[in-house]
Structure 1
């Protein structure tokens, strides 16, 4: 089995499989596409997409790439798996465009088509958060962490859902501990949510670092303030995340999430 990832703006994964009793092969292609929108937070133009030859290096671990088990399911699961994967892509596209309700419809459709997807659908958990369905969102993130016990962001998002349900103190008592994140900014953010901390120190620590690190520090500082019921400070940092170079120009799904957050809260840069 071979997996090849291209370096173009369209992320393509080609999967070739051969078996000793068969000479046939199968291939699949997945694409991550950045949509266009008339929202003031979604101002990318077609010419800008084509002219931007050196996109920001993404710090996200939330890549829409198939795991080894996912590759096997793709090869053996038939039409239901392929249709489910397409529904996930449609859901991600709708979320990026600000249609959170529409994205959840597609993610739920993906689970109907292939129930195995539910334990991996962190995208669905994010949509549930922005629809104020916090109990379901926490359940989704707990399922995700059970499958991937090293995912820092799933742990944080579970906390964010449960802080809305039970308050920050109880959410911290229920905090999901995970393995060590390789990204310094996410290690610091994780410790801040887990133990309590100062979001301003987080942002200051990474303000002179890579653009992606500043973006993630601002994003999670804003989300931390939201969990503490401080909308003014949350707005300040979420808008800073959106307006950062990484937030404006990266294809990272979390850069889109920062824009969706501001859209859902009716915050604008003006």
Structure 2
């Protein structure tokens, strides 16, 4: 059974559970995650909103909703979600990077770097390096060379966030060398997202990479 079929089966199961337990907020979150993995972003957002309606205490834990906001182009709402998330999870680099990505879409890279929220200490070394990349303390080349590892998960995250980094910087004009063609940041973004997808993980962010690729290809097409 391929991943799409598995997700469709997963969706059927969550639908069954919600018919039995229609007021279980966490079941809406789980179904929303399945919708997102299937690329059904609007449905995912509706489920996250329903979960919050049923249990407002979940609001600072709805990081998944922030990702749905991003891919729906609702960048202000996404930035606000990630800012709230950091109030209960101040060690997570990913929360502040996604806040950065939302601000970059709204106001540009310089403003996003000014608004880069502090992170106390993410225990994952690769995430600490990713933070330095987005803070402007590492060049993409130095970041990539310093992140070479046999750890598949770390390699996946290296390529995912490099792809997202280049997407955020897509408006910048690359410096051209005489007699040499340099890929645009859009092309670099596509390359690294494609590389990330090769490392098939049972991880929500792996599905995000696949959804990202599908949405960006559809936009170009």
Answer whether contact 1:135 1:165 (CA < 8 A) is retained: yes
How many residues are paired up? 192
| Residue in structure 2 matched with residue 76 of structure 1 by the alignment | none
- Do residues 185 (structure 1) and 126 (structure 2) align? yes
Q: 1:234 aligns with which of 184, 189, 206?
A: 189
- Do residues 149 (structure 1) and 90 (structure 2) align? yes
Which TM-score applies when normalising by structure 2?
A: 0.81
Larger relative contact order, structure 1 or 2 (CA cutoff 8 Å, min sep 6)? 1
- Do residues 255 (structure 1) and 182 (structure 2) align? no
- Structure (1 or 2) with the greater helix fraction: 2
| Residue in structure 1 matched with residue 80 of structure 2 by the alignment | 139
Q: 2:71 aligns with which of 102, 108, 130?
A: 130
Deviation, 1:194, is: 1.7
Answer whether contact 1:188 1:202 (CA < 8 A) is retained: yes
| Residue in structure 2 matched with residue 87 of structure 1 by the alignment | 28
Deviation, 1:196, is: 4.5
| Residue in structure 1 matched with residue 3 of structure 2 by the alignment | 36
Tell me, in whole angstroms, the C-alpha distance in 2 between the residues paired with 1:127 and 1:176. 20
Tell me, in whole angstroms, the C-alpha distance in 2 between the residues paired with 1:85 and 1:206. 36
| Residue in structure 1 matched with residue 49 of structure 2 by the alignment | 108
Tell me, in whole angstroms, the C-alpha distance in 1 between the residues paired with 2:127 and 2:74. 25
1:91-149, Cα deviation, whole Å (9 max, x unpaired): 01111111111110100111111111111100000010000100000000000011221
Deviation, 1:232, is: 1.1
Answer whether contact 1:226 1:234 (CA < 8 A) is retained: yes
Answer whether contact 1:200 1:221 (CA < 8 A) is retained: no
Which TM-score applies when normalising by structure 1?
A: 0.67
Unpaired segments of 5 or more residues in structure 2? Answer: 10-20, 171-184
Deviation, 1:262, is: 0.5
Tell me, in whole angstroms, the C-alpha distance in 2 between the residues paired with 1:263 and 1:177. 32
Tell me, in whole angstroms, the C-alpha distance in 1 between the residues paired with 2:136 and 2:120. 15
RMSD: 2.2
Tell me, in whole angstroms, the C-alpha distance in 2 between the residues paired with 1:125 and 1:184. 24
Q: 1:174 aligns with which of 115, 126, 130?
A: 115
Secondary structure of 2:121's match?
Answer: coil
Deviation, 1:199, is: 2.1
Tell me, in whole angstroms, the C-alpha distance in 2 between the residues paired with 1:212 and 1:116. 31
